[in-house]
């Protein structure tokens, strides 16, 4: 009599069709949930900090360097979100909160502009996250600079558009994006660089000293000037300096005393030129000047992206070293279509 085969009992961790082990889905540990919540909260706070810093910059002349620091910190959090936030729906909701936090301090401004700005900020932040996440998910190893660069590129473009559009209503009062105090900081930094090429020019002193040093530099190679006596040279320098000051300040928005810092003279001249351009161009001035500012800032933004990637890398390594995050290997089985 033939033996009847006993039924084979299938283990609960095996598949009936393919005899392979099945990974049972489990909830992530609570520590991971707390870490994700902490990252989301800090990211929203970083967005609010940047929004407040830009509001304070436009309204009260807040430090441009602290504004740049807030911009960078927000960018670092956006890049870290791309690496750590895997749930797309939840992350998009957090990005929605971030975009609202950015524009929150401008709620008293023109609502039409806010209605345009908010979707732009949200779209670029979401685009940066999704693009970076897609690059990360389609790579075998972690492409740090490729992922962070993709995210930060969209992040920078979106926030610069926000900054330019929010600034647009104020162009009528002051066409220059920077205040006189902030311009002075930029000027002093640029003066240090220029002194390396023109050591005889006095950029860091008063406008009178700058004019005199410029006149001396122009006259030192003049043969006729060299043939003059010392007293005659001093008189010639004084006359030429006065003419230079009058010519330089011809397009100034306001009078500048010779005892004023040289940076104030340059600022007033630039402002006068912008006012003249605005008078001649009418309504097109705002559009043209916004485009110029955006292109200039976006060009400089390339340097910012490199800087932000470096800062992100430091935070990235710090979080790995402290155990806040870790790098593991995963096996993926994918469906593919072929012939």
Q: What is the band of 159 on the pLDDT scale with cuts at 50, 70, 90? A: very high
Provide the total of helices (H) and of strands (E) in the chain, helices listed first.
11, 0
Pick the most confident of 18-32, 97-111, 121-135, 199-213: 121-135
pTM summary value: 0.67
Span between the terminal Cα atoms of the chain, in Å: 50
Of all residues in the chain, what percent carry a pLDDT higher than 90?
24
Query: Residue by residue, what is the 3-state secondary structure of the chain?
Result: CCCCCCCCCCCCCECCCCCCECCCCCCCCHHHHHHHHHHHHHHHHHHHHHHHHHHHHHHHCCCHHHHHHHHHHHHHHHHHHHHHCCCHHHHHHHHHHHHHHHHHHHCCCCHHHHHHHHHHHHHHHHHHHHHHHHHHHCCCCCCHHHHHHHHHHHHHHHHHHHHHHHHHHHCCCCCCCCCHHHHHHHHHHHHHHHCCCCCCCCCCCEHHHHHHHHHHHHHCCCHHHHCCCHHHHHHHHHHHHHHHHHHHHHHCCCCCCCCCEHHHHHHHHHHHHHHHHHHHHCCHHHHHHHHHHHHHHHHHHHHHHHHHHHHHHHHHHHHHHCCCCCCCCCCCCCCCCCC
- Given a cut of 60, is residue 153 above it in pLDDT? yes
Domain spans, the chain: 30-170+284-321, 186-281
What was the pLDDT predicted at 22? Answer: 47
What is the rounded CA–CA span in Å between residue 317 and residue 91?
22
Question: Please, which pLDDT band fits residue 282 given cuts at 50, 70 and 90?
Answer: low
**Of 239-248, 276-285, 328-337, minimum mean pLDDT range:** 328-337
Sign of CA dihedral 59, 114, 124, 297: negative
Residue 171, pLDDT score: 58
Q: Tell me the pLDDT tens digit for each residue of 240-262.
A: 888 877 887 776 766 777 778 88
Greater confidence (190 vs 3) lies with: 190
**Average pLDDT of 135-151?**
86
Say yes or no to pLDDT of 166 above 50: yes
Tens of pLDDT along 9-64?
545 555 444 444 444 445 556 787 888 889 999 999 999 999 999 999 888 878 88
pLDDT range class, residue 178, cuts 50, 70, 90: low
Per-residue pLDDT band for 218 (boundaries 50, 70, 90) equals confident
């Amino acid at each position: 009599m033939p033996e009847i085969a006993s039924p084979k009992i299938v283990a609960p961790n095996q598949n009936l069709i393919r005899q392979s082990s099945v990974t049972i889905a489990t909830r992530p540990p609570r520590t991971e949930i707390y870490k994700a919540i902490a990252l989301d909260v800090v990211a929203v706070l970083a967005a609010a900090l940047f929004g407040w810093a830009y509001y304070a910059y436009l309204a009260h002349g807040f430090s441009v360097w602290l504004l740049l620091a807030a911009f960078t910190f927000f960018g670092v959090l956006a890049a870290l979100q791309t690496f750590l936030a895997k749930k797309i729906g939840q992350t998009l909701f957090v990005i929605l909160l971030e975009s609202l936090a950015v524009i929150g301090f401008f709620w008293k401004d023109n609502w039409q502009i806010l209605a345009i700005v908010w979707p732009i900020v949200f779209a670029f932040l979401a685009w940066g996250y999704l693009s970076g996440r897609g690059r990360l998910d389609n790579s075998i190893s972690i492409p740090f600079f490729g992922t962070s660069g993709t995210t930060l590129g969209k992040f920078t473009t979106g926030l610069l558009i926000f900054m330019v559009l929010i600034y647009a209503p104020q162009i009528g009062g002051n066409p220059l994006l920077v205040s006189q105090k902030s311009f002075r900081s930029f000027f002093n930094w640029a003066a240090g660089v220029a002194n390396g090429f023109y050591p005889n020019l006095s950029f860091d002193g008063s406008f009178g000293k700058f004019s005199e040093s410029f006149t001396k530099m122009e006259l030192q190679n003049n043969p006729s000037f060299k043939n003059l006596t010392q007293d005659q040279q001093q008189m010639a320098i004084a006359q030429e300096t006065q003419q230079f000051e009058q010519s330089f300040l011809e397009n100034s928005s306001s009078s500048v005393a010779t005892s004023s810092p040289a940076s104030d003279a340059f600022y007033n001249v630039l402002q006068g030129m912008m006012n003249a351009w605005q008078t001649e161009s009418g309504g097109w001035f705002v559009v043209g000047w916004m485009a110029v500012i955006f292109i200039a800032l976006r060009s400089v933004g390339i340097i910012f992206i490199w800087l932000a990637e470096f800062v992100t890398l430091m935070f990235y390594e710090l979080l790995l070293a402290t155990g806040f995050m870790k790098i593991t290997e995963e096996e993926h089985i994918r469906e593919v279509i072929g012939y």
